[in-house]
Structures are given as C-alpha cells and as structure tokens.
Structure 1
C-alpha cells in the first residue's frame, strides 16, 4: 500500500483528537468512550414515537448509532453497539420501551446497529465524514446496513412476506431517516472544519 493510501485508510476520527500520553491512558480513554457510546445509544433509544400501524417505533437510536460509529471509529463504535446488544440480551432493559432479550419485532435492527457502526466507522477512517456529500453517502449506507438486518428479522418474526416487511419496517421511516442523514451531513463536516481551524 502506498503512503497516501495508508494515510487515507487510517485517518483519525473525532475521538482520536482526545490526546493521551501513554498506552495505558489510551486504554482508559477508549473504554470510557466506548461506554459513553453505549450510553448515548441507550438514551437515544428511549426517545421514541410509537406508530399504530407497525410494531417498529420511530427512534433516535439510529441517529445515535451512526454518529457513534463516525465519531468513535469502527472498533470503539462497534464495541459500543455490541455492549448495548449484549446487555439487552442478558436482561438489562436498555432497548426501546424498556425491552430486553430478542423476542420482539425490532430486534433485527439492533443487530444491524453493530454492522452500521462498523461500516460508518470504517468510512470515517477514510475521511468520508469530512464533507457534505461523502457524509451523505456514509450515513445512507449506515442506515441501509441497519435495514439489511432489521427487515428480514421483522418479516420472519411477524410471518409476513418481504414486501409487507418493507412497508412496515422501512417506508414509515424514510422521511425521518432523510432528516437524520441531512443532520449528520451538516454536523460532522462542520465539526471537522472547526477542528481544522483550531489546529491552524
């Protein structure tokens, strides 16, 4: 791999800007950031709007997941989502409406959170969070990753076909997703511009 390509693949994410002076301190920083990511996803997941025609509520968790992946990078972001999933599976009521375990219609989306944080984090490490257009792509791909797990689970759990699952688990959320994606495309590049000016 050429030097420019290597730099592109390992660009810092926002969390890397928190400087530490030793490996041990770096581990503590990473642990705190990872748990903060889990807490962020949990709190956002409790902010929901139930819809009467689908068992999947409107939630801010997806926005938190995408932002966590971009800000923390694939490893810390993926671990944040993984801890969230693991705690819920063992009985901690972290999921929307205080749910836990796996036997509910929207559980597949929570599995998708891990894939989304990994994907978004990898793209952020390739500087895709630095301008509006690439951030739009980053956030869109992250949202699609969540749906890729959520919709099949919804179809199997409800015993419906894929078209019905799409109508119940995707279509009602497209406007909200568009708002979240646009918000990310404004927030992340603006943050990086502020960081670059501060460095200068």
Structure 2
C-alpha cells in the first residue's frame, strides 16, 4: 500500500469538515490530545535497574498519531512538548522541582524526541490508509515504536556515558512485553473503529 494515498484519518470522519467549525474542532482535539498525553504519561510502573519507567504515554502517542494524521498529530505532540518545556508537570516523572528543559534533557529526553518522529510516521501511515487493516496498522506501529526507541536508547548511552549495549539492556529490553501489549491494543482498536463506522453506514 503506497504512502501516496490521501485517505481520511479517523478523526476527520466525525464532526465539521470545513470553515470555522472545523478550526474549533481541531483546537479542541489538540487540547484534548495534550490532556490525554499528560494524564497517561503519569500512569507509570518503575522498572528496576532502568532510569526510565514504563508508562501509558506511548499508547497515547501512538493512538494520536494514528487517528489525528500527520499535521494535527504533530501540532498536538509539539503543543505537549511546549507545555512541558514551560514547566508544567505533564511528563512521566516531572515534578515541581524537576521540569521544563532540565527534565527534557534527562533520561527520557531521547524518547520525547522519538514521540515526535513516531507521531509523524503514524500520521502519514494513517493518511495512506494503513489504519484500516490490523496487519498494516501493526506494521506502522512497529515502525513508530522503533522511532521512539532509536533516539531514546541513543540518548541514554550519551547521557550516562555507557555503551549502547547497556542502554539497550535498560532502555529497551525491559519494556518489550509492555509495548507488545500496547501495540496490540492500538492495532486492534483503530481498524476496529473503522469497521464499526463502515457497518453503521451500510
């Protein structure tokens, strides 16, 4: 399936599609996306031996990328980054004392960069129609997840001055099972909603 297609993404199926009403809808979607990212990022489980916790923020990123499309998805994820950069407590382990740029340059900094890449990749994949099929959606999600881990693991290695092998062992391997569950859920959820829409309109 080529990426040259210009299919609608899921959120474009609902609500107004032009004019001022569309702009209002898009603003609301961006705000809701940022709020969802902030809430789900705080749902976390510490991983022994790793400076990074397992959290549901990844699921939010993947879902937003797959349902918002590249432009609105990028706007949402960058809005989230800007809110965090301004010092608001929206990141996984940010606190009143550790926030803003200081937090973003810490152990999760590479993963935050990966969030942006993953959102774009999934947005373009959804625009190409990959979100209509569980198999294609699963492939897009695997690519997006890899785009989160590549800068995430690389930055851990640089930040702590350890080898890439060490960074992989603490920044990737402990999260594989949890990520498999999150990817599986997203791969079923988005195409499933498309099928429900098709049945409702038939």
* Distance in structure 2 (CA, Å) of the matches to 1:189 and 1:20: 22
* Distance in structure 1 (CA, Å) of the matches to 2:93 and 2:113: 17
How far is 1:21 from its partner?
Answer: 5.9
TM-score, normalised by the number of residues in structure 1 = 0.92
Q: What residue number does 1:84 align with?
A: 80
Summarize the alignment of residues 5-154 of structure 1 with structure 2, pairs less than 5 Å apart.
Answer: 9-20=5-16, 22-99=18-95, 100-101=99-100, 102-154=104-156
Structure 1 runs of 4+ with >4 Å offset? none
Q: How many residues align?
A: 195
- Higher relative contact order by CA 8 Å / sep ≥ 6: 1 or 2? 2
CA displacement 1:72-128 (0-9 Å, x = unmatched): 111111111111111111211110123422232112111111111111010011111
Q: CA RMSD in A?
A: 1.5
1:45–1:60 contact (8 Å) kept in structure 2: yes
Corresponding residue SS for 2:193: helix
Q: Which 5+ residue runs of structure 1 have no aligned equivalent?
A: none
1:85–1:111 contact (8 Å) kept in structure 2: no
* Distance in structure 2 (CA, Å) of the matches to 1:75 and 1:143: 19
Q: Which 5+ residue runs of structure 2 have no aligned equivalent?
A: none
